[in-house]
Amino acid sequence: MEKLIEKVKRRIESLAQELEHIYNDYPEAVIGEITVKNILGGMRGMKSLVCNTSYVDPYKGLFISDLEIPDFEDKSPEEIFFLLVTGSLPSVDELNELKSEFNKRSRVPQHVWTTLKSMSQTTHPMTMFSIGILAMEGESVFKQKYARGIPKSDYWKYTLEDSLNLIAKLPELAAGIYRILFMNGELIDTSDEKLDLAGNLTYRLGFNRHNPSFADLNRLYLVLHCDHEGGNVSAFTSRVVNSALSNIYLAASAGLNGLAGPLHGLANQVCLNFITCIHDQFGNNPTVDQVRDFVTATLDAGKVIPGYGHAVLRVTDPRFTSFMKFGDAHCSDSPYLQTVKKLFQVVPDILRSYKGGKVANPWPNVDAISGSLLYHYGMTHYEFYTVMFGISRVLGFCAQNTIARGLHQPIIRPKSVTTAWLKEYLKKQ
């Protein structure tokens, strides 16, 4: 892995130099003000972190380095990880080296299966995924090295080493959970095969695997969800946990627990359930008016419309557009995709006037469409969809934390205040 390690080292050195200049030249420069609205509003819009793996432009969406989604949507997850952590796409040799490294490290230890198989069948797949990762925490090289004593300058190397070990095992772990919960626990072995991350996942899930477009969808899934800058709930959680030098297994598991919430990654599961409820009520080909009525009734019941809105984006999520392009090419007649389109026709207008125009972004996010495509290919157990999101998002956690440790970023610990303090402070203004 010398090539990858060397490139990450160079990137960290160059970022460290840039940050040192910034720190020395502008130590007291003001980036923004903190308002009461910020403190009471989930810190929305407050610039308070540095993240160089990716950036989300409110009007253009996700950028990885200077690449927008159409520039990288046809890449593999391996290429994307390389891009996230080094800032550039790999050469053919670098890519082959990374693929073979992941392949070598891909086996999940037997004790993890014993743990997962002993759990109740009612356990949510995201809980199992998080526990499966935690169960492998004993293998952390960072933890072992830290206990013996290592210089700060080596933290990133062992974070990267742990990251490679963890990412390599995710397809087998995730597919195994799918088969434990939904396929009588019969795991599919691929130890003879030289498969890449997406190929391993597709093969081990064990259905429709001879359908090349399902394999393409899995690849796209693992690419589009990989990272969304540093402030989203899951990445931020993993950054906070890793900043305490809790190893990447602990940080990834924690981040995934955030992703498992319905306002974050679980929204893809909730969206599929939402569409299923529309179909149960009106049949598989509801009219636009019926869809509109269903949306209005959902809002009247005090619920949110899953897959719509975003904390940063102010346009249709380009990840939604990318999935739509895939759907139009491969399954345009799917009733689920058709209902996604009808929702896209009615929801933005409804949300624009909802709560007196309070909804900051009435447009669809990635979760409004991703599940409908998996459903089309026969993955009908939609409780699993957030695991698919999670496999990909761990790439971002690993890249962000490797760089953060390389830059010796300190433990993340903002100051909180009491309401009494706030009242007292504001009285004096």
The footprint of ligand NMX (CB under 6 A) covers: 44, 263-265, 267, 304-311, 355, 358-361, 365-367
User: Are 348 and 300 a contacting pair, CB within 8 Å?
Assistant: no
Out of 225, 228, 264, 330, the active site residue is 264
Closest-by-Cβ residue to ligand MLT is 232
Minimum distance between the CB of residue 310 and ligand MLT, rounded to whole angstroms?
6
Cα angle for residues 386, 388, 393 (degrees, 5° grid):
85
Q: Choosing among ligand MLT, ligand NMX, none, which partner's interface includes residue 44 (Cβ < 5 to 8 Å by kind)?
A: ligand NMX
Q: Which of residues 278-317 bind ligand MLT (CB under 6 A)?
A: 311-312
User: Are 227 and 389 a contacting pair, CB within 8 Å?
Assistant: no
Closer residue to ligand NMX in complex, CB, 4/220: 220
Minimum distance between the CB of residue 8 and ligand NMX, rounded to whole angstroms?
27
Closer residue to ligand NMX in complex, CB, 76/268: 268
Q: Facing residues of 56 across strands? A: 62
Closer residue to ligand NMX in complex, CB, 136/387: 387
Q: Choosing among ligand MLT, ligand NMX, none, which partner's interface includes residue 308 (Cβ < 5 to 8 Å by kind)?
A: ligand NMX
Out of 310, 317, 330, 376, the active site residue is 310
Minimum distance between the CB of residue 114 and ligand NMX, rounded to whole angstroms?
32
Instruction: Tell me whether residue 317 is one of the annotated catalytic residues.
Output: no
Q: Is 173 helix (H, G, I), strand (E, B) or coil?
A: helix
> What is the DSSP secondary structure assignment for residue 22, as one 8-state letter?
H
254 CB contacts (<8 Å, ≥6 apart)?
237, 238, 240, 241, 246
State which of residues 106, 130, 365, 370 lies at the interface with ligand MLT (CB under 6 A): 365
Minimum distance between the CB of residue 232 and ligand MLT, rounded to whole angstroms?
3
User: Are 156 and 12 a contacting pair, CB within 8 Å?
Assistant: yes
Minimum distance between the CB of residue 20 and ligand NMX, rounded to whole angstroms?
34
Site string for ligand MLT, 210-249 (x = CB under 6 A): ------------------x---x-----------------
Closest-by-Cβ residue to ligand NMX is 309
Q: Choosing among ligand NMX, ligand MLT, none, which partner's interface includes residue 305 (Cβ < 5 to 8 Å by kind)?
A: ligand NMX
Closer residue to ligand MLT in complex, CB, 163/392: 392
User: Are 105 and 168 a contacting pair, CB within 8 Å?
Assistant: yes
Give the integer Cα–Cα distance in Å for 195 and 102.
9
Closer residue to ligand MLT in complex, CB, 200/234: 234
Instruction: Tell me whether residue 228 is one of the annotated catalytic residues.
Output: no
Q: Choosing among ligand MLT, ligand NMX, none, which partner's interface includes residue 86 (Cβ < 5 to 8 Å by kind)?
A: none
Site string for ligand MLT, 136-175 (x = CB under 6 A): ----------------------------------------
Tokens 């695991």 belong to 387
Query: Judged by CB under 6 A, how many residues of this single chain contact ligand MLT?
Result: 5
Closest CA to 35 of 428, 427, 426: 426
User: Are 240 and 296 a contacting pair, CB within 8 Å?
Assistant: no
Minimum distance between the CB of residue 410 and ligand NMX, rounded to whole angstroms?
27
Closest CA to 87 of 159, 12, 157, 174: 12
Closer residue to ligand MLT in complex, CB, 219/228: 228
Measured CA to CA in angstroms, residue 404 lies from 110, 240, 296, 352 at distances of 32, 11, 44, 39
> What is the DSSP secondary structure assignment for residue 207, as one 8-state letter?
S
- Phi, psi (rounded to 5 degrees) for 41: -110, 40
Minimum distance between the CB of residue 208 and ligand NMX, rounded to whole angstroms?
25
Q: Choosing among ligand NMX, ligand MLT, none, which partner's interface includes residue 159 (Cβ < 5 to 8 Å by kind)?
A: none
Measured CA to CA in angstroms, residue 197 lies from 86, 132, 177, 303 at distances of 19, 18, 16, 37
Give the integer Cα–Cα distance in Å for 395 and 163.
8
Tokens 């900043």 belong to 243
Give the integer Cα–Cα distance in Å for 6 and 12.
10
CA 114 to chain centre: 27
Instruction: Tell me whether residue 310 is one of the annotated catalytic residues.
Output: yes
CA 187 to chain centre: 25
Catalytic amino acids? 264, 310, 367
| Residues at the contact surface with ligand MLT, assessed by CB under 6 A | 228, 232, 311-312, 365
